[in-house]
Amino acid sequence: MTELLTPLADVGGPAQPLLTIRGLQKHFPLKKGPLGGGGGLVRAVDGIDFEVLKGETLGVVGESGCGKSTTARLMMQLIAPTAGEVVFDGRVVGTRDLPLKEFRRQVQMVFQDSYASLNPRLTIEDSIAFGPQVHGLDARQSVARARDLLARVGLEPSRFAERYPHELSGGQRQRVNIARALALQPRMVILDEAVSALDKSVEAQVINLLQDLKAEFGLTYLFISHDLHVVRYISDRVMVMYLGQVAEIGAADRLYEQAAHPYTRALLSSMPAMDPDHRTETAPLAGDPPNPINPPSGCRFHPRCPQAAPVCAERAPQLRPVSPLQRVSCLIHETGSGHPLALTQAA
Ligand SMILES: Nc1ncnc2c1ncn2[C@@H]1O[C@H](COP(=O)(O)OP(=O)(O)OP(=O)(O)O)[C@@H](O)[C@H]1O
């Protein structure tokens, strides 16, 4: 299990998985046309395995449509998987071992749209108190918890508790959503583009708040974002997705400094430079991601990969450890010879 060792191991011994994803797939059927044509499947998530370690923030990145949100919704069991399972703290979710209701108390989610997530007819206080009441806490205790949490996310309860969502700014509403997610005292929070709609200065405040709350409540985060700078800042490890699969996963610093997958390198070189004097050597990502209805054969990245060899169109790579801190799905790393061309030459 050496691949589970992360920088967290430096501070608290070997990190253990809190949530494990095994062979997860989601294929959405396409509607048939009036004459029976069409059909087919959108392979939104197509066989992924990974773990979220206790106490870490796992960042998830990848181009639009690569399956990040579908993965999050599958993890929460908001949609049924085509195949695979979610294991939380050693128990399979949605079984007698760990019924959905109990799992959903322990794992909460915050979405991008701060307004859509709140009931416009409920006051802020009632929105936050609702979850604990559903889970059996009495009304007085639920309201007390809501007020505590409002203060904790930086919203003075005497000013905000009785207001309605439309009376708040986007940043304030997202603080309410975070308070609401914490009201059930979860162990893990999934943040799906949770700061993406905020102004840069508000975004920075909310990210710092998330960091403080994580430390205070001992939380584990899965943090989905298209902003590679933010992901590097907040994450202990990062998972890179490409066309419904995991391309690479590893410790954030190592992945950003020594990416092993050609896709990760291309994605990172498309990052706007924080330092204008900094020049990257790598070619940026060319072309659009291919269609998840009809993904390329072999390695799905091969049509866009600057290092692709003929074998890459024929053989699908497996996710394998390349170091104790990094796993990658690329034939380069399966040969151990440094280039997939060696595979064709050796064959
Ligand atoms: N209900 C659905 N029916 C059919 N296809 C879907 C459905 N939901 C998602 N998809 C498709 O699945 C693929 C993955 O979508 P998903 O939203 O998970 O990607 P994403 O990486 O989160 O993208 P973004 O960064 O744009 O939010 C896309 O091709 C999307 O169009």
Which residue of 28, 61, 228 sits with most ligand 1 atoms within 8 Å of its CB, as the best mutation to test the pocket? 28
Mutual orientation of helices 124-134 and 170-182 as an angle, nearest 10°? 20
Distance of CA 307 to the CA centre of its chain: 27
User: Residue 6: what pLDDT?
Assistant: 43
HSE on the CB side for 206, CA within 13 Å? Answer: 27
HSE on the CB side for 305, CA within 13 Å? Answer: 26
Four-CA torsion 6, 12, 18, 23, nearest 10 degrees: 20
User: Residue 15: what pLDDT?
Assistant: 81
72, containing H or E segment: helix 68-75
- Closest-CA residue to 188 (of 47, 20, 26): 20
346 CA distance to ligand 1 middle (Å): 39
- Look up the ipTM and state it: 0.98
Domains in the chain with CATH codes: 2-30+41-121+181-295 (3.40.50.300)
Ligand 1 contact, 68 CB (< 6 A): yes
What's the whole-model pTM score?
Answer: 0.90
Distance CA 242, CA 46 (A): 10
Distance CA 178, CA 191 (A): 9
302 CA distance to ligand 1 middle (Å): 21
Ligand 1 contact, 226 CB (< 6 A): yes
Tokens 């991008």 belong to 112
94, 100 Cβ separation under 8 angstroms: yes
User: Residue 343: what pLDDT?
Assistant: 54
User: Residue 310: what pLDDT?
Assistant: 93
Residue nearest to atom 6 of ligand 1 (CA): 28
- Closest-CA residue to 2 (of 266, 270, 323): 323
Average pLDDT, the chain: 88
User: Residue 37: what pLDDT?
Assistant: 53
**SS3 state of residue 233:** helix
46 CA distance to ligand 1 middle (Å): 12
Residue nearest to atom 12 of ligand 1 (CA): 44
What is the pLDDT tens value at each position of the chain, 347 positions in all?
334 444 444 444 568 999 999 999 999 998 776 665 567 899 999 999 999 999 999 999 999 999 999 999 999 999 999 999 999 999 999 999 999 999 999 999 999 888 888 999 999 999 999 999 998 899 999 999 999 999 999 999 999 999 999 999 999 999 999 999 999 999 999 999 999 888 888 899 999 999 999 999 999 999 999 999 999 999 999 999 999 999 999 999 999 999 999 999 999 988 776 655 554 555 567 777 778 898 999 999 999 999 999 999 999 999 999 988 899 999 988 865 455 555 554 44
User: Residue 201: what pLDDT?
Assistant: 87
pLDDT tens digits along 329-344: 999 888 654 555 555 5
Ligand 1 contact, 65 CB (< 6 A): yes
User: Residue 274: what pLDDT?
Assistant: 61
Distance CA 42, CA 13 (A): 41
pLDDT tens digits along 274-294: 655 554 555 567 777 778 898
Ligand 1 contact, 42 CB (< 6 A): yes
Ligand 1 contact, 44 CB (< 6 A): yes
Beta strands in the chain (DSSP E): 17-29, 41-53, 57-61, 83-88, 91-92, 107-110, 188-192, 220-224, 237-242, 245-251, 320-323, 326-328
Distance CA 196, CA 180 (A): 19
92, 99 Cβ separation under 8 angstroms: no
Residue nearest to atom 10 of ligand 1 (CA): 44
Residues whose CB is less than 8 angstroms from the CB of residue 274 and which lie 6 or more positions away in sequence, other chains included:
229
